[in-house]
Amino acid sequence: MPDYIQIGPASATPHERRRAISENSVDASWLRVFDDFAAADAIPSRWLVVEAAGLREADAAEKAAQIDAYKAERQAALRHDVNEYGEGRHYGLSSEMRLKDLYDRAVAGGLTNRAAYIGQVLVWQETLLGDYMTKVAAINAAATVDAVAAVTWDFSTHDATDPLVTVTGALAIAD
């Protein structure tokens, strides 16, 4: 019987499997899932195991491709989360466009108080964008899967500085 190594539960996410494969230098073509492993006391049933004969050192190009794929995955998650956060704070794309249009009209029409009111959210959004771009740069600079995974974000830190600007509030300011 060939030797096997335990990679993780069969219910593991694709990222968890790729990470385990990368860390163990496993050729993914050798992956097999066993419902009932002969040595059940050593490896629980329904665990993903890899035939040890399939182990080989991944070359530099394969490792770089794995890291790049994970970076793209994390950046997509980051982009989704920042957009969801903005939507949750009532600054979705349609509100943002309306506020920007009202701001431009207020500036052009000399409505300084309205422009100042709306300008608060524009500054807040720049701060959020700066935080997002810092995280993107950290993901891009990461050299390993673990370093990419170590980049975390929590946009709720921006809650306290949210100026709570609304289109209705902006329209209520006449000057």
What are the tens digits of pLDDT across the range 73-124? 999 999 999 999 988 888 888 888 999 999 999 999 999 999 999 999 999 9
What are the pLDDT digits (tens) for 119-146?
Answer: 999 999 999 999 999 999 999 999 988 8
Once rounded to an integer, what is the mean pLDDT over residues 148-155? 93
What are the phi and psi torsion angles at 36 (to 5°)? -130, 105
Q: What is the pLDDT of residues 3-49, one digit of tens each?
A: 445 555 555 555 665 666 556 555 444 444 444 444 434 444 344 44
| Per-residue CA distances from 66 to 11, 77, 138 (Å) | 21, 17, 17
Which pLDDT score is estimated for 21?
A: 56
pTM of the predicted model, to two decimals? 0.64
Domain ranges of the chain: 4-54, 60-171
Q: What are phi and psi of 32, to 5 degrees?
A: -145, 140
What torsion, rounded to 10 degrees, do the Cα atoms 61, 64, 69, 70 define?
150
Q: Has residue 61 got a pLDDT over 70?
A: yes
